[in-house]
Structure 1
Amino acid sequence: MAAGTAPHREHAIQAALKAARWAPSVHNTQPWSFGVSGEEISLRADTDRKLLMGDSAGRELLISCGAALFTICTALRCEGYEPSVRVLPDPDRPSLLAVIRLGAEVEADEDTRALGAEIERRRTHRAGFTDLPVPERLLEGLVKDARSEGARLTPVGSPVAVSMIAALTQAAQAAQSQDRVLSLEVIRWARPPGSARKDGVPAEGYPRQAARTDPYFPQRDYAWRHDWGSQADQSASTATGVVALLTTPGDTREEWTATGQALQSILLHASVYGVSAAFHTQALEMYHLREFLRQELCSQEYPQMIMRLGITFDDKESVRRPLPDMLE
């Protein structure tokens, strides 16, 4: 069948939508919906899935949707089409985040095909890493990948700076753990063992009590007041990995969306080389801690993501909602 025929184009759109489901999102909320009109895909924010306490401004929601946007574009290129994208095209419809149209026919290069192969394999990690180092050349490449999407990735080399970021994460997690309403919002997205839900974090996907990294980067307490989560392996890896900050010059909705695109580009390129990421956004959800980080460690740029990059041999379960549930 010729690449340009209508059935092939329809197949490409369906493949892109199925791939977009696997984008990362805060607490695996999958806060997006899609519309299809001819050869156009509409990406919309599903505000019913927004974290009302932890993400009242919708920053993390738009980052999640930006990751879905990058995934759609990557999948379309793998199917042989260069996407034409308009981000936030209608000020009167703030939930409409992007319109993606099939453009010219292209031959996917080796790098694009490699990224496409990682879309369903990529997993968020929620514990320590092995002592195996992340290659410097890979980190340099990830910095370029982020820059090409409009964000800045900064691997943090200073042990003092790493300790400061860990301390901010500890302070934020401690404060949030005392907030009952916020804790309830977190465990709303923690799936109990045996749950048939297709969103949220599976009980097998987070440790009941994670082994401590050094310095200590606490995880979300998905097991709050519950005996959920996987049993910690006493011999589990505890290396911190490479701490990195993802920042933008401003703090607009356009830059939040660009952050998500940069994030997914980083994650897929890293996954090609067996490198996973753990996220720590607790401090970024508290204005004064985020502002301290911006002023002291981010050269006045706005921190959008704190992550650790490393190598792990865990293969945790992940779940996604069926595509019909996401279509409008």
Structure 2
Amino acid sequence: MITRTTQDRDRAIHSALEAARWAPSVHNTQPWSFAVSGGEISLRADVERKLRMGDPSGRELLISCGAALFTIRTALRCEGFEPIVRVLPDPDRPSLVATISLGEAADADEHTRALGQQIERRRTHRAGFTDLPVPERLVDALTREARAEGAKLTPVGSPEAVEIVAALTRAAQAAQSADRVLTLEVIRWARPPGSTRTDGVPADAYPRSAAHTDPYFAQRDYAWRHEWGAEVGQEQTTATGVVALLTTRGDTREEWIAAGQALQRVLLDACAHGVSAAFHTQALEMYHLREFLRQEVCGHEYPQMIMRLGITFDDGHSVRRSLPEVLG
């Protein structure tokens, strides 16, 4: 029988919180805070970091928090504890996303450890990919990973469907770029060169001018009216990669959190195999375009994330707030 001491428990909680800081979030807003009471972690949504124009419902905020929740679960398992999770446990505290307590002591399996090793290595990619193909067997494995968390990952197979998704992304980006308030909200999270901020998107983590994939998937214009961003070797990074949709059957807060957990599980497994992801949420932030995707492309399931999966040799750069900053 495996036994764990109070010191083991405290070390596991500390490791889990350190890991949770590295979860992905829209524009790297890091919209979460944590509290610890005894052997229980509380994960809370930080509504002050919600995108009030782009994400008024808080859907992307809760997807981000769901990714942090899966990260905590994985880190606790790597530390030898089985997490006991309660999602949205208190209707009177809507910002309380989940509580996580430490259950029985158990050694993590090889797959869980492999995921845990990628938590701080994973990076969001914001350009095109190399021409190296993503193995079909890996895509199949990623669909199983999403299913294990209650979501569905569907690679978009036909060129016609890929073009539809790309066209909707371009349309949404064009509409949002014409909206000054939305644009200002996006660039609020774009860090200029030399910035010491520990949130948002660093200047060397997005291209100064987007690589034109075929079909073209429009990128967020973090360099709007500035000479910010990294120079990208266009000849090396123009492949689209595998386009995939993450969906859920319903569209409740619980399912948004489940989508976030599925997303992080997929991303960590992809990273373990040398595959990165680029995200395109523009069309999902516009009701009519999201509904079109749901009915015409997603088989009436609700699209929660649009991503491209591919191989890049750009390690990228990211920043995170320190643990004291996210402990409340």
How does the TM-score come out when normalised to structure 1?
0.99
The 3-state SS of whatever aligns with 1:305 is: strand
| Whole-angstrom distance in 2 between the partners of 1:135 and 1:26 | 27
Aligned pairs (5 A) from 1:93-112: 93-112=93-112
- Hey, what does 2:18 align to over in structure 1? 18
Offset from partner CA, 1:42-67 (integer Å, 9 cap, x none): 00000000000000000000000000
- Hey, what does 1:308 align to over in structure 2? 308
Structure 1 unmatched ranges of 5 or more: none
Conservation of the 8 A alpha-carbon contact between 1:70 and 1:264: yes
| Whole-angstrom distance in 2 between the partners of 1:65 and 1:236 | 34
- Hey, what does 2:91 align to over in structure 1? 91
- Hey, what does 2:224 align to over in structure 1? 224
Structure 2 unmatched ranges of 5 or more: none
Conservation of the 8 A alpha-carbon contact between 1:242 and 1:309: yes
- Hey, what does 1:237 align to over in structure 2? 237
The 3-state SS of whatever aligns with 1:317 is: coil
Across the two proteins, how many residue pairs are aligned to each other?
327
| Whole-angstrom distance in 2 between the partners of 1:279 and 1:235 | 21
| Whole-angstrom distance in 1 between the partners of 2:171 and 2:240 | 18
| Whole-angstrom distance in 1 between the partners of 2:135 and 2:236 | 22
- Hey, what does 1:210 align to over in structure 2? 210
Conservation of the 8 A alpha-carbon contact between 1:211 and 1:236: no
CA RMSD across the alignment: 0.8
Offset from partner CA, 1:211-268 (integer Å, 9 cap, x none): 1000000110001111111123243310000000000011000000000000000000
Question: Which stretch of structure 1 is more off in the superposition, 96-105 or 228-237?
Answer: 228-237
| Whole-angstrom distance in 1 between the partners of 2:3 and 2:191 | 42
Structure 1 residue 3: deviation in Å? 5.0
Offset from partner CA, 1:31-83 (integer Å, 9 cap, x none): 00000000000000000000000000000000000000000000000000000
Conservation of the 8 A alpha-carbon contact between 1:154 and 1:246: yes
| Whole-angstrom distance in 2 between the partners of 1:271 and 1:15 | 20
Aligned-partner residue type, residue 199 of structure 2 = D
Conservation of the 8 A alpha-carbon contact between 1:35 and 1:327: yes
| Whole-angstrom distance in 1 between the partners of 2:310 and 2:12 | 33
Aligned pairs (5 A) from 1:127-276: 127-276=127-276
Percent identity between matched residues is 76
| Whole-angstrom distance in 1 between the partners of 2:6 and 2:243 | 46
The 3-state SS of whatever aligns with 2:51 is: coil
Structure 1 residue 93: deviation in Å? 0.4
Is 1:318 paired with 2:318?
yes
